[in-house]
Amino acid sequence: MTPELTEFAGRMNEYSIAMGLPPSVAKVLTYLTLCQPSLQTAADVQKGTDISAGSTSEALTMLRQVELVERSKQPGQRQFYYEVTKDGWKKATAHRFRMLDAGIRLADSGLQINPDNERLQSMRDMYALFSREFADFEKRFL
């Protein structure tokens, strides 16, 4: 990697951590976003990120769960290949916003038990606002 790309990778990694990703997941995401070729085996990812095989596997699983990374097999190959999909960022963002509805349901269940809890009501109101706004955003852009 060029010095500029290495510096950018560091900033992307820091951003991903600030957005809530565990450091190993941020490293794998950064690597898969910038690597060439885009298809990489788990061993390639481990070598490129210098993290353990277990951490690599966990990170790839997490990134697949939010539909940011896809796993596939290539003709004639036994191992799996991973890559950030073209619409992965869109799917991952949508996945994150769908979690708002779970937060609303959680707050509602808490408010049934403790209806005067202003903190739970505030949580519910904020998640509901974001959920409505995201629904409109999703219709227009996703």
Query: 129-139 pLDDT, tens per residue?
Result: 998 888 887 77
Range in 39-43, 109-113, 129-133 the model is least confident about? 129-133
Predicted confidence at residue 92, as pLDDT, reads 83
CB of 82 closer than 8 Å to CB of 39: yes
Residue 45 DSSP label: H
Q: What is the pLDDT of residue 49?
A: 95
**Amino acid 142: pLDDT:** 64
pTM of model > 0.95 = no
What is the pLDDT at residue 27? 97
Contact 104, 131 (CB under 8 A): yes
pLDDT at residue number 138: 76
Give the mean pLDDT of the chain: 92
Residue 105 exposure: Cα atoms within 13 Å on the Cβ side: 5
Least confident span in 20-29, 43-52, 89-98: 89-98
Percent of the chain whose pLDDT exceeds 90: 70
Confidence of residue 97 (pLDDT cuts 50, 70, 90): confident
Average pLDDT over residues 102-113: 95
Q: Which two tokens stand for residue 67?
A: 């539909």
